[in-house]
Structure 1
Amino acid sequence: MTAAQAARALGDADRVRTLAHIYGCTDHALVEALAGMAAERTRGWWEEYRDTLPSPLLDLAEMEHHATALRVAQVINIPGLLQTPEHARALFREVVPALRPHEIEFRVSHRVKRQAVLVRDQPVPYTAIIHEAALRMQFGGREVSRAQLGHIAEISEQPHITVRVIPFDGTSFPTAGHGVDYAYGPVTTLDTAQLDTTHGSELVDAAGKLESYRLVLDRMEQAALAPHASRDLIHNIAKNL
């Protein structure tokens, strides 16, 4: 369950404040953040996929929607918020067990709609740390890959989007190989991390684990090239496809 889901389960904003008072919660910033989430009664766009996609995908979309900032790291795959529809479609064709054509299209549509957080009126600050290996994986073939790399290079020009690449000849860094999507909340207590694992997505909100993932992301970012050098490397890879 995401923080927003938990807040809404408590009822309206006044009920959240009342319960906080009853239980002696003195963290005013946390209480007001939860009250704000509880007050948002409108259904998110992701709810239209409730009967067609697994719940973890909907939780990820909601987590991104409420985040005050996002930081992700990928070693093998392009981050979902940076994928073109063609690249995403090629990825979903490789899912095991195989997805049916309409299931693939539902996932592509959902992935594209998630990307609205980067282009809305108040876009979320976004940092993507991508290993060079992910950039060289040619899902969908050369043309799809070339277009995908061009998209990343272009969108990385946006002031709220930072893309940093870890090159093959870079320094070592800690990672388990799976992707990490870290969503910063209004207060640190409401941070959430989503992990891509072989058995599916996993949400992490325990303080100790979140601190570990922040350190891992810090170390990975330190191993990455600066944004301008990363963009140059992306252009060079695309040119030589």
Structure 2
Amino acid sequence: MAERVRFAICSRTATAAIAVVSTLLVACAPAARPLVGSPTRAILPPTNMAAGSQILRFTWTYKDETFEANGDGAVRAQAPDRARLDFFLKNGMAGGYAILLGDSLFVPGVDLVKRLLPPVPLLWSSLGRLALPPVPDTTARVDGDTLRADLGVLRGRDASGADGRAWRLAFGGTTLARVERIEDGKVIEWMSRRRGANGQWQLQYVHERGKRRLAIAVTDTTTVEAFDDAIWRRP
């Protein structure tokens, strides 16, 4: 009986510890603010990849609490839903790649690339394609030339008061500018995209809870006829 009592106490203690850690992790994420602007029933702008096939060359920097790295790379993007991302560390020390096909992300071998990349919906948003899981509710507001929309189980509210997971989109005019993943009213992670002074995309991914940051600066965009099917093959 004494052993059972000790086991029960330890189980309750472990459960309480897990709950405390979970609460602290959630507390590290900022609260989602209520949507601002005027309510609207406007249809969301199109969110598709650029037509055809493109190569986007870029530089990147990454930082978390224990690791920092930078380098260059390239994205080979083929509409409507294919992309291959190649990352190389500065000075050619190492590299890795990922293949994105629809809702599937394949990252062979090197842990570096797995560490860098956001989840599939946010990764697609970096290329201007919206690929979120189905949601029951949507609410939107317009503030100047910015359209924001919350998607999730909203129950008549916005993402700041949603149950469980929700998504917040922001459009600058007709351009997808930011996508946030919100959990129980907290902004857990987000992807932003904007045009830099050179006209190329500047992308930033932040995981607030994990304190991870990936910045990508596209340096050149080239349209090509097509890609060899070999680049999509998994080893």
> Could you state the TM-score of these two structures normalised by the residue count of structure 2?
0.24
Which is richer in helix?
1
Structure number with larger C-alpha Rg: 2
Which is richer in strand?
2
> Could you state the TM-score of these two structures normalised by the residue count of structure 1?
0.24
